[in-house]
Chain A
Amino acid sequence: MAKVPVQFTLNGSETAEFVDSGTTLLHTLRDKIGDTSPKGGCHQGTCGACSVIIDGELRLSCLTLAETCDGAVISTTSGLSENGILHPLQRAFLDTFATQCGFCTPGMIMAAKVLLDHTPNPSRDEVVEALSGNICRCTGYEPIIQAVLTAARSNSQNAA
């Protein structure tokens, strides 16, 4: 079958791939491009482990076909730290022990990033709502919520 060319900006870099038509973005990112930070937990849109940010919106890469992302701007957790310096969310997840097995973490961080991009000082309820599509089966939700609130505080301190 003929391959389809797809071009998008991934974590600030121009990226181009030839994919099989019908291939998901998750598969393209992980197995073609080599960015394995989005995880495939359910491939049903239920667990949120594959969450990425496409044109500023949180999306599930397991249900998004790569071809539909032509020209898009895509961010994943692997692109968050700059020059080896952790993003405030990554720092906060470390400091508040918000990771256990780590499988849900990249998706959680993406969901949290979209929230803080739009709502820099969220309430606890807003954090819970923003993470409501992401499952942590180690059930460490409380430290994750704390991590997002901590990152929001450190952002606002830096801005002040």
Chain B
Amino acid sequence: MELRKNYFADVRKDDLHEIGQPRPRSDSPGHVTGKTAFFADRTFPGMLHLKMVRSPHHHARIRSIDTSEAEKHPGVVKILTAKDVPHNVYTILILIQVGPEDETVLADGKVRWKGEAVVAVLAETERAAQEAAAKVKVDYEVLPAVFDMEEALKPGAPLVNEYHGQNYYLYDSGECRKVRFGDVEAGFAGADHVLEQSYQSSPIEHAPTETTGCVVTPEGNDRFTCYTNTQAMFFTLDNTSIILQMPGSKLHFVGGTVGGGFGGKVDVIVEPIAILGAKLTGRPVCFIYSREEEMQISSPRAAEKVVIKDGVMKDGRIVARKVTGYTDAGAYSRHSPYGAQKGAGHYPGPYTIPNVWIDTYCVYTNRTPSSAMRGFGVTIGDFALEVQMDKLARLIGMDPLEFRFINAYRDGDMKAHRQPTEGAALIECMQEASRAANWPVAEKYLAMSSYVKGA
């Protein structure tokens, strides 16, 4: 590894002792000897296995649920339905005042996506739980479903989630998150060229090697220990406390070791129902997703659509940018209202543009609920923005890297969402990229600085 200390040499002390030095990872010795304890490496006598009966339909009303045959199945200890969950309607971000609660722990009256949890079966063995789950009878009235964001936003589209009343998340700013800066129409009117393009992505599954799950054991004093691979320990503890209407002091969460997460283990899905099962049976419970559940049931990165309209001058300056972003939340909010909001803040990218208009929508469809994944809300947007930047450079016949130097934000520039830029370092990164990738740019760009005025 090579440290280029010449960048910012005049604005920081040269006192880096750890950075640039190889240091052993504290968890590696456990990993290479197989001694690292992942949640599923714990087993307890008498542990029950939880299997979920899931909706085979994208959108349906539940007429009735008959668990009588399943209850009689050998090895079955407990069967849970919506009425067993103390506070069955929840939303994870309620902890940071994002509402309304819009998702059921176990479906109550309706399912809104294929794979939604309906009935939980707890049995002595995994096999007995699977066999009993196959005997649960759910009578569905199939409803029209909508899978496309633009279709979902049209008048007359099937209503996905009644807790919202419409197929988009209602922000305090209205039907979308909005950023307004300068006069974008005047910008387009004065531009040499205007380019409008649309970009879209499909959902992406994290596919961690270790599937989502938890092991819960009752401590015998109304307290429960939950070994989990959640990436969001306190979010999970607090939401579980709300869902189960139990004080947090009754819940002991043990985690921190995650066999791959990438954002896919921040939803509070397995813990509340497993703890409820342990509470109602008095026995340890494990609820571990099968590989198929991990791929089909756990939230993916949201599908997105991004429409970018830019006004650009022949000399390379972008003078106006209008972005409309759509985030497909699937049937429930989870982290998607936040993801769409991040998108609004993130556009127009790391560029200083005098006239900006951003609208980002969080849209509900009958698809698997999406949620967090590595830079969710901005990653797909960055793909769209940088492809757009290349197209703009081509349009005006300019080198794509030089085009970015011209528009790069620098310290002191006002961003569209009214945060002054500081610590930008984009210019310096591109200078180094130019050298490392052997992509030469004109000398004047190599003389630029993120923080020296006029340079």
**B-binding residues in A (CB < 8 A):** 30-31, 35-44, 46-47, 49, 76-78, 80-81, 86, 89-90, 93-94, 97, 99, 101-106, 109, 135-138
Would you call B259 an interface residue if the criterion is a C-beta within 8 Å of the partner chain's C-beta atoms? yes
Given A93-B32, A94-B28, 12 new contacts (CB under 8 A): A37-B35, A39-B38, A39-B259, A42-B209, A93-B31, A97-B22, A101-B260, A102-B28, A102-B30, A102-B259, A109-B32, A136-B209
Contact of B209 among A38, A43, A47, A90 (CB under 8 A): A47
Once the chains bind, are A102 and B43 in contact (CB under 8 Å)? no
Contact of B258 among A46, A101, A104 (CB under 8 A): A101
Of all chain B residues, which has the CB nearest A35?
B34
Contact of B43 among A31, A43, A106, A138 (CB under 8 A): A31
Would you call B218 an interface residue if the criterion is a C-beta within 8 Å of the partner chain's C-beta atoms? no
CB distance from B90 to the nearest CB of A (A): 28
Of all chain B residues, which has the CB nearest A78?
B34
- The distance in angstroms between the C-alpha atoms of A93 and B32, with both chains bound, is 7
Contact of A105 among B24, B32, B262, B291 (CB under 8 A): B32
Q: Which of B25, B34, B206, B262 has the most CB of A within 10 A?
A: B34
Q: Which of A41, A44, A102 has the most CB of B within 10 A?
A: A102
- The distance in angstroms between the C-alpha atoms of A72 and B235, with both chains bound, is 46
7 contacts between A and B (CB under 8 A): A30-B43, A35-B34, A41-B259, A41-B291, A42-B211, A102-B28, A102-B30
CB distance from A143 to the nearest CB of B (A): 11
Q: Which residues of B contact A135 (CB under 8 A)?
A: 209
Once the chains bind, are A43 and B31 in contact (CB under 8 Å)? no
Would you call B296 an interface residue if the criterion is a C-beta within 8 Å of the partner chain's C-beta atoms? no
**A-binding residues in B (CB < 8 A):** 22, 24-25, 27-38, 40-41, 43, 206-211, 257-262, 290-291
Once the chains bind, are A43 and B291 in contact (CB under 8 Å)? yes
Contact of A137 among B36, B38, B260, B291 (CB under 8 A): B260
- The distance in angstroms between the C-alpha atoms of A101 and B291, with both chains bound, is 18
Of all chain B residues, which has the CB nearest A134?
B209
Of all chain B residues, which has the CB nearest A90?
B32
Of all chain B residues, which has the CB nearest A36?
B41
Once the chains bind, are B31 and A105 in contact (CB under 8 Å)? yes
Once the chains bind, are B33 and A102 in contact (CB under 8 Å)? no
Once the chains bind, are A99 and B211 in contact (CB under 8 Å)? no
- The distance in angstroms between the C-alpha atoms of A37 and B30, with both chains bound, is 10
Q: Which residues of A contact B291 (CB under 8 A)?
A: 41-44, 46-47
Q: Which residues of B contact A94 (CB under 8 A)?
A: 24, 28-29, 32
Q: Which residues of A contact B35 (CB under 8 A)?
A: 37, 78
Once the chains bind, are A99 and B32 in contact (CB under 8 Å)? yes
Once the chains bind, are B290 and A43 in contact (CB under 8 Å)? yes
Contact of B33 among A81, A97, A136, A137 (CB under 8 A): A81
Once the chains bind, are A137 and B207 in contact (CB under 8 Å)? yes
Of all chain B residues, which has the CB nearest A38?
B34
Q: Which residues of B contact A109 (CB under 8 A)?
A: 32
- The distance in angstroms between the C-alpha atoms of A106 and B34, with both chains bound, is 6
Once the chains bind, are B29 and A137 in contact (CB under 8 Å)? no
CB distance from B21 to the nearest CB of A (A): 13
Contact of B34 among A36, A43, A89, A101 (CB under 8 A): A36
Contacts A94-B28, A136-B209; is A103 near B260 (CB within 8 Å)? yes
Once the chains bind, are B210 and A39 in contact (CB under 8 Å)? yes
Of all chain A residues, which has the CB nearest B23?
A97
